[in-house]
Amino acid sequence: MCGVDLADMLTALYRTEMKCRRLYLSMFSQLLDICVNNAWLMYRRDNYSRKGIKKGKPLKEFRLEMYKALLDKGKKVDQTTIKDLNPDQKIKKPKRPRPINDIKYDNIDHFPEPGTEYSRCAYCKKGFTIVFCLKWEGGVRRGSEVRLQQFFQKEEEQILVTYLKEMEGRLFGLSTSELQKLAYELAVRNNKQHKFNELKEKAGKDWLRGFLHRHLDLSLRKPENTSAARAAGFNSVCWKRMKPELLNGAPPNSWAECSDSGWITADIFL
């Protein structure tokens, strides 16, 4: 039927559902699906005529790439870059597939993410990297394209590490948001040049990722509420097991807590 059945089949495969009582919205979603299917058919025809490739990308993968291209188009990232490499230093035949052109030429830099394992840089020929680009999931060496800034010196960061460990030992561990605020306060009081958020008065997430990556012995967790089972399990028996050295000589009316003046009772506390 002159391609009508084929068009209906392609539209029914990955239909954009828009359930509503307004008929024009359903018609609009139908037109969008037809446009995407026509673009995929033209893509297959161009590949066959130019490159001789009979089988290109499937329709599902084509729709996903179009979705990612539209989603990432126009985004801006505050990252510092340096001069580009010479043509002789670049990889001419990469093994890892490159991103599509809509994402590759959108005038936006990489999205750096510190990793845990070393791998070869996908941009230049020399060196290894632990920084990966979230934009196309490839390794990028710090000296080639992107540089994670470090505003504090090693001694200043060691002060932060010592403070975090000390507070954790006192059962008052800091969260990631509190660490960002602490870093901002440290930079302001020491008159350090920084690019932190002055409105929120906290450091950025890129600095936080770099700081945690440089100090792998730290582990900051999100604070959670105490469950009912854990609260019920903290009874008098467990409490006595925690401080046996204080309970041995404690008076009967005391709380088994010591102060400079002696045992703490209800009268002294009030």
Instruction: For 189-229, write each residue's pLDDT tens digit.
Output: 888 877 788 888 888 887 887 788 778 788 776 666 666 66
pLDDT band at 252 (very low <50, low <70, confident <90, very high): low
| Residue 193, pLDDT score | 76
- Between 59 and 54, name the one with better pLDDT: 59
Distances (CA, A) of 59 to 13, 15, 232: 9, 12, 56
- Mean of pLDDT over the chain: 69
Please give the model's pTM, rounded to 2 decimal places. Answer: 0.35
Q: State both tokens at 261.
A: 């003046």
- Residue ranges of alpha helices (H) inside 80-204 are 101-104, 154-169, 176-189
Domain boundaries, the chain: 4-72, 87-139, 154-214, 228-269
pLDDT cut 90: percent of the chain above it? 0
From the list 88, 89, 87, 111, the residue with the least C-alpha distance to 99 is: 111
State whether the Cα torsion 240-245-249-251 is positive or negative: negative
pLDDT in tens, 24-52: 888 888 888 888 888 888 888 877 766 55
In order of 15, 74, 152, 175, 230, the CA distances from 167 in angstroms are 54, 42, 21, 11, 22
pLDDT of residue 168: 79
DSSP 124: B
Task: Give the whole-number percent of the chain exceeding pLDDT 70.
Answer: 49
- pLDDT per residue as tens digits for the range 4-22: 677 778 888 888 877 777 8
Query: Confidence class of residue 108 from pLDDT cuts 50, 70 and 90?
Result: low
pLDDT band at 238 (very low <50, low <70, confident <90, very high): low
Burial of 83 (0-12, 13-18, 19+ CB in 10 A): exposed
Cβ atoms of 134 and 113 within 8 Å: the answer is yes
Please name every residue paired with 112 in a beta bridge, in sequence order, or none if there are none.
133
Identify the band that residue 82 occupies on the pLDDT scale cut at 50, 70 and 90. very low
Tell me the CA end-to-end span of the chain in Å, nearest whole number: 91
